[in-house]
Amino acid sequence: MNRIIIVGNGFDLAHGLKTKYEHFIEWYIMSWVEKNQKEKDCVPKKGDKLIEVELKKNIFNKLCLCFESGKKYLKYNVKPSKLLERIFLSIKTKGWADFESDYYELLKELLRKRNEVKNINDEFAFLQSLLIQCLNNVQKNEIKEELVDDDIKSKMLAPFVAKDISVEAKDKWNDFLKRRLNDSELIDNIELYKPSNAESGLKNVHEFKNAYKDQIEFMGIDSIDGDALPQDMLYPDRMMLLNFNYTTTADLYMPEDPHFILNHIHGELSKPENVIFGYGDESDDEYKRLQKINDNEYLRHIKTNRYLETPNYRDLLSFIDSAPFQVCIMGHSCGLSDKTLLNTLFEHKNCVSIKPYYYVNEQGKDNYLDIVQNISRNFTNPQLMRDRVVNKTYCEELPQVTRKQKEEE
């Protein structure tokens, strides 16, 4: 039985990295300010594919003041493109932005305006290049081994928990337990997770087998309460880190062994030509309308097609077809922009459990229900969703590293 750990931007944020889209917008605008703040009082208009800025000294002073006082962006002197204007509207109305969803909503509005689609796509491609530039700064200056948190690592490499397994997957779980009674398979597995203490782990399992020998023989291992199972026999066979981020923060947590697989499903910063940035809900009715238009420009930034440019998606399919698997979610919102891929995982016949690690803010409010509601939108079978998603009682908080460090000081 394997495990897939889905990692999203919330994972980087948990480590104190400024990787929100709002952080990027601030970086982008402030780069304009820093680049032009020494200009004379009156300078011709400047800009790029996303923005037109009238560079007047007094106006730039107001823009700097706008940032320093925490007010909304671009109040005084900027003419944003259609795409950037939509993003600013999201920030104003929702307090946050989702570039990919904002782009898709705008694309749908242009169903009858083909002449404008190329402009929007060019803006989105330019936005992607800027985002890569911004994240490269974060990657180079802030992502180091020192970020690794022992608490997070222990959760990622933790044994399975019997109570997490869905009802419909009990037969798969029992088959897994029966295999783990085999010493030759067990010792190799324990050594992956406890290389310096494997013999002790094997001894714990032997003691369990001796204590429950008669019950296992006459009633089966499935008759034993899950809490009585020793953790040393419950580690995953293989693990895939399904990293939706372009950064490598989460990669630092994976042991260097063929049993632990890194999959940057949307590409990584070191290979910008393979970065996938777009929208991915092919079940949406409007998407089907876009497909019917005989113009590939409408499909230019649709993830479904971009997945074919690298082997990452097929590697994922091979992994989930190979054996039963649990999905753990760390810092991914499970929004509709990734629905095509997430539905493939969540409703796969080998999926035995979906365990979200939720965020708790400084006021003590968590987002477990938000994540579950988003997960539900990636299912076509609500009954299956209710069985596979681990209930909140058995889920845990995703530790916030910077907050923990402040509390320890």
Residue extents of the structural domains in the chain: 1-15+148-180+234-267+310-409, 21-142
| pLDDT over 50 at 62, yes or no | no
For 360, other C-beta atoms within 10 Å of its C-beta total: 15
| pLDDT over 50 at 61, yes or no | no
Q: What residue ranges in 18-174 does DSSP mark as E strands?
A: 46-47, 51-53, 78-80
Listed ranges 40-49, 69-78, 299-308, 398-407; the one with the highest mean pLDDT:
299-308
| pLDDT over 80 at 73, yes or no | no
Report yes or no: 241 and 264 within 8 Å, Cβ to Cβ: no
Summarize the confidence of residues 230-246 as an average pLDDT: 97
For 363-372, the pLDDT digits (tens) are: 999 999 999 9
More confident residue, 362 or 347: 347
d(C-alpha 207, C-alpha 237), whole Å: 22
For 104-133, the pLDDT digits (tens) are: 999 998 887 888 899 999 999 999 999 999
Summarize the confidence of residues 327-333 as an average pLDDT: 97
Report yes or no: 15 and 149 within 8 Å, Cβ to Cβ: yes
User: 36: pLDDT confidence band, cut at 50, 70 and 90?
Assistant: low
Identity of the residue numbered 283: S
| pLDDT over 50 at 67, yes or no | no
d(C-alpha 261, C-alpha 316), whole Å: 10
Give the DSSP H/E element, type plus range, for residue 325.
strand 325-330
Position 111 scores a pLDDT of: 82
**pTM (2 d.p.):** 0.90
| pLDDT over 80 at 178, yes or no | yes
Report yes or no: 206 and 232 within 8 Å, Cβ to Cβ: no
Position 407 scores a pLDDT of: 62
